Amino acid sequence: MAIPRPEYPRPQFVRDEWLCLNGEWQFEIDPGDSGLERGLVARELANRIQVPFCPESPLSGIGNKDFMNAVWYRRVVDIPAGWAGKRVLLHFQAVDYDATIWIDGVEAARHRGGFTPISVDVSSFWTPGKPVVIVVRARDTKEGPKPFGKQSQQYGSHGCHYTRTTGIWQTVWLEATGVVALKRPRITPDLAAGAFRLELPLTGNVDGAFVRVVLKDAKGVVADSSVRADLDLSPRLDLFIPEDRRRPWSIADPHLYDLELTLTGADGKVIDRATSYAGLRGVSIHGKKIKINGQSVFQRLVLDQGYYPDGIMTAPSDAALISDIKLSMEAGFNGARLHQKVFEERFLYHADRLGYIVWGEFADWGAGGHGSGNDHQQHAITYAAQWLEELERDYSHPSIVGWCALNETHQPLHDRITNLDDATRALFLAAKAMDTTRPVLDTSGYAHRVPEADVYDSHDYIGESDFEKGIERFALGHAHMADDKPFINGDRNMSVPYRGQPYFVSEFGGFKWVVDAALEPEAAAADRSRSWGYGSNPTSLEDFYRRFEAVCKVLLDNPYMFGYCYTQLTDIDLEENGIYCFDRTAKFDSARLSAIQKRIAAIEEA
């Protein structure tokens, strides 16, 4: 049987020696979370599962959609004999939610968070020539606040909450490195200087060692530089690009340079090596404009939640990730809000190479920030830790043009400072500390709490039953930007005042349109009475196009609006407000939607 999802899972930091561990694993559901006491660490498990698909998904071979307090995985692995004498790392790209990993019965790692990678050094557990037994327990209980994004906390899907994901849901793999090794570089483009500035963290130092970095394009070597690697744990160097080889990364020309990284000892022998890539791209703020490479680019974004009928949060194939980006671009969008989910890295890789801009977000729902009247984010340190892991993983991707950790936080402003105030500031400052090169939005919609946030936004759906009255209200609500009086959610009683930042409507539209039920997947057509979109439903296809054009026109024609984000790319479960069906079949004429959006925006002309 073919290995599912066999492609390299971390395209921006690649080593030649690696082994994909996707495929069949032993598996067992542990309803009472008593498996440790019952000896599941040391025995065979009862069932089989196809990793990396979660047990709720059809592709896993399990298809259990009930709550699973804990699940166990087991696999016996033969590590290549040629890796003897090297450091061997075991990687889990994502396990939801609390993971504990045992190697040959000894606990080797534990990790909290369902969206970011886990790495385990198994070298000390492995004797060359002998297999190792990997056992994983993933706990995913309902109790306590935790960032679960759009995963339903009821048995079934409801509203905008969808089928859950438990346990392993991204690729599991091994790689061999030097005993002292390169860690993932931080690559910062410096467009003004025509350079890349690299931080090159190491696992340790070796006397006389050097790190060499070679930058290449299609013509060959562009720059070549070395730095001593025995004085700092994170050496730094700059790679300056000759003017005739400078080619900025952009939506129209998503050019990527290749990087070769080599760690050598005093004797010149290679200790470790890896490859990477980088895009020369700058993001800047000019009044109410956000510019890319000094040019005002209206951000025609779509809300992408990354769910699939058969894989849930896991794309069934790498081709499916590429297809989602291309479907969005065919409909006229040039990017996406990656909404309430940390997308797998291969999506970002394809965005990098296809010229598709994205906002990196965190799956904060479940952390207590959504819903009125509550004090929120009582466990902000947990969310900050997971948010920092995402920022570290994704820092070097040129397609990411902004960060936002929170979505639709609800709470009126109080006379006293609240947990929500602290959490919003903590996550904002974490992003700014990790990355000074991109704008950061404190929260998407509703309770803005950080006055110095780089961006301000609102969510504005036409909820009126009469669309004509709704579009009139929509237009009026965004007509006062010239006076620095934008539409603000919550009648301004949730947020600090707007202070002239770049502004966009980061959720709007969401009109429900139902295609012939016979053409829809069973999941989407199961309960039509509960399916939904925003506001009244279009009465015909022509009425949908009219509405889509009307809302887009209001925002495109506003000279103080730097972008928008339409809800959403696809239908999901009960939501039938996508541009495409849940199975990605067409609902509309994409060329017509693209033509509506491709008009030059007012802010691009100003």
Do 77 and 146 have their domain in common? Answer: yes
pLDDT > 90: percent of the chain: 89
- How far, in Å, are 178, 183, 207, 275 from residue 264 at the CA level? 10, 14, 10, 15
Residue 374's domain is classified under what CATH number? 3.20.20.80
pLDDT at residue 515 in the model:
86
Determine, yes or no, domain membership for 1: no
Residue 25's domain is classified under what CATH number? 2.60.120.260
Identify the residue whose tokens are 């963290």. 201
Pairing of strands 440-441, 400-404: parallel
Helices (H), 245-286: none
pLDDT at residue 519 in the model:
42
Which of 597, 428, 585, 431 has the alpha carbon at shortest distance from 513? 585
Q: Which of 225, 246, 278 is the last residue in one of the domains? A: 278
Do 228 and 314 have their domain in common? Answer: no
Contacts of 586 (CB under 8 A, 6+ apart): 580
Do 151 and 268 have their domain in common? Answer: no
- What is the pLDDT averaged over residues 245-254? 98
Contact (CB, 8 A) for 335 and 354 = no
pLDDT at residue 492 in the model:
74
- How far, in Å, are 185, 302, 355, 488 from residue 568 at the CA level? 34, 6, 20, 21
Determine, yes or no, domain membership for 215: yes
Q: What are phi and psi of 82, to 5 degrees?
A: -70, -10
pLDDT at residue 12 in the model:
98
Determine, yes or no, domain membership for 13: no
Which of 456, 459, 453, 447 has the alpha carbon at shortest distance from 411? 447
Do 86 and 192 have their domain in common? Answer: no
Q: What are phi and psi of 385, to 5 degrees?
A: -60, -45
Residue 523 pLDDT greater than 50, yes or no:
no
Q: Is 63 helix (H, G, I), strand (E, B) or coil?
A: coil
Cα 46 to Cα 28: distance, rounded to the nearest angstrom: 6
pLDDT at residue 87 in the model:
96
Cα 150 to Cα 161: distance, rounded to the nearest angstrom: 5
The letter for the amino acid at 439 is P
Alpha carbon 42 to its chain centroid, in Å, reads: 35
**Encoding tokens for residue 461?**
């759906």
425-444 pLDDT, tens digit per residue, is 999 999 999 999 999 999 99
- How far, in Å, are 63, 114, 145, 467, 508 from residue 97 at the CA level? 18, 4, 12, 42, 31
- How far, in Å, are 260, 290, 560, 604 from residue 149 at the CA level? 36, 28, 31, 34
Do 301 and 428 have their domain in common? Answer: yes
Cα 102 to Cα 309: distance, rounded to the nearest angstrom: 32
| Residue 510 or 491, more confident | 510
Q: Quote the mean pLDDT of the chain.
A: 94
Q: In 10 A of CB 218, how many CB atoms?
A: 8
Residue 516 pLDDT greater than 80, yes or no:
no
Q: Which of 278, 293, 311 is the last residue in one of the domains? A: 278
Residue 377 pLDDT greater than 70, yes or no:
no
Alpha carbon 465 to its chain centroid, in Å, reads: 34
12-49 pLDDT, tens digit per residue, is 999 999 999 999 999 999 999 999 999 999 999 999 99
- What is the pLDDT averaged over residues 186-210? 97
Residue 371 pLDDT greater than 50, yes or no:
no
Do 119 and 254 have their domain in common? Answer: no
For helices 590-597 and 318-330, angle between their N-to-C axes, nearest 10 degrees: 60
Which of 418, 417, 391, 421 has the alpha carbon at shortest distance from 405? 391
Q: Which of 278, 303, 332 is the last residue in one of the domains? A: 278
Do 242 and 312 have their domain in common? Answer: no
Do 370 and 485 have their domain in common? Answer: yes
pLDDT at residue 374 in the model:
47
Position 605 confidence tier, pLDDT thresholds 50, 70, 90: confident
Determine, yes or no, domain membership for 7: no
Over its C-alpha atoms, the chain yields an Rg (Å, rounded) of 25
449-495 pLDDT, tens digit per residue, is 999 999 999 999 999 999 999 999 999 999 999 999 999 998 778 99
Do 464 and 337 have their domain in common? Answer: yes
Q: If residue 328 lies in a helix (H) or strand (E), which one and from where to where?
A: helix 318-330
Q: Which of 19-28, 61-70, 314-323, 361-370 has the lowest mean pLDDT?
A: 361-370
Do 249 and 307 have their domain in common? Answer: no
Determine, yes or no, domain membership for 226: yes
Determine, yes or no, domain membership for 294: yes
Position 142 confidence tier, pLDDT thresholds 50, 70, 90: confident
Cα 404 to Cα 431: distance, rounded to the nearest angstrom: 8
Task: Name beta bridge partners: 563.
Answer: 299, 504
Task: Name beta bridge partners: 48.
Answer: 26
Task: Name beta bridge partners: 508.
Answer: 566
pLDDT at residue 425 in the model:
94
Cα 487 to Cα 544: distance, rounded to the nearest angstrom: 24
Cα 290 to Cα 307: distance, rounded to the nearest angstrom: 29
Cα 57 to Cα 310: distance, rounded to the nearest angstrom: 6
The total number of structural domains in the chain stands at: 3
Determine, yes or no, domain membership for 4: no
Rounded to 5°, angle at Cα 395 from 391 and 396 = 165
556-602 pLDDT, tens digit per residue, is 999 999 999 999 999 999 999 999 999 999 999 999 999 999 999 99
Contact (CB, 8 A) for 456 and 448 = yes
- What is the pLDDT averaged over residues 4-14? 98
pLDDT at residue 531 in the model:
87
pLDDT at residue 529 in the model:
64
Position 527 confidence tier, pLDDT thresholds 50, 70, 90: low
Do 387 and 525 have their domain in common? Answer: yes
| Residue 502 or 371, more confident | 502
Q: In 10 A of CB 382, how many CB atoms?
A: 17
Do 341 and 306 have their domain in common? Answer: yes
**Encoding tokens for residue 512?**
């429900």
Which of 34, 44, 38, 4 has the alpha carbon at shortest distance from 21? 4
Q: Is the peptide bond before 568 cis (omega within 30 degrees of 0)?
A: yes
- How far, in Å, are 260, 265, 388, 606 from residue 268 at the CA level? 16, 5, 36, 56
Cα 299 to Cα 281: distance, rounded to the nearest angstrom: 16
pLDDT at residue 170 in the model:
98
Position 373 confidence tier, pLDDT thresholds 50, 70, 90: very low
285-332 pLDDT, tens digit per residue, is 999 999 999 999 999 999 999 999 999 999 999 999 999 999 999 999
Determine, yes or no, domain membership for 498: yes
Residue 251's domain is classified under what CATH number? 2.60.40.10
Identify the residue whose tokens are 């849901």. 169
Cα 472 to Cα 493: distance, rounded to the nearest angstrom: 23
pLDDT at residue 524 in the model:
45
Which of 574, 576, 594 has the alpha carbon at shortest distance from 585? 576
Cα 346 to Cα 352: distance, rounded to the nearest angstrom: 10
What residues make up the domain containing 219? 186-278
